[in-house]
Amino acid sequence: MKTMKKIATVILLSMFTFVVAAQKPSTAPTGKSDPVMPIYLVDGVETPYAKVVKINTALIASMDVYKGPDAIAKFGAKYKHGIVLVKLKKPTKK
């Protein structure tokens, strides 16, 4: 019985390790250099992924994601891998 528990534990740990490794990219996507990455527009300006991830989330007003046929229909074939529209909050006047 102990052998069965050990085998089951090893199998579960192996599966868990595989799932975690599969979910985590080996390298961070770079945006423009990766042809299957979506295009990021921050306030209407095409922005590399590396800069988008550095935006302070408190400054983001909204994010909209379009992918596949929806992206192509709304924005054109250039966006066939998707588009992420990021709108930043307007600075407040004091």
Judged by average pLDDT, the poorest of 2-6, 37-41, 75-79 is: 2-6
> What is the extent of the structural domain holding 37?
29-88
CA-based nearest residue to 58, from 18, 22, 88 = 88
pLDDT at 49 over 80: yes
- Per-residue pLDDT of 70-94, as tens digits, reads 999 999 999 999 999 999 998 877 6
pLDDT at 53 over 70: yes
- Helices and strands (H and E) in the chain: how many: 3, 4
Its pTM surpasses 0.75: no
Give all strands (DSSP E) within the chain, no chain letters: 39-42, 45-47, 60-66, 83-88
Domain-located, residue 9: no
Integer-rounded Cα radius of gyration of the chain: 20
Domain-located, residue 59: yes
Contact by Cβ (8 Å): 31, 49? yes
pLDDT at 61 over 90: yes
Report the number of distinct structural domains present in the chain: 1
Domain-located, residue 8: no
- Per-residue pLDDT of 26-37, as tens digits, reads 455 554 456 788
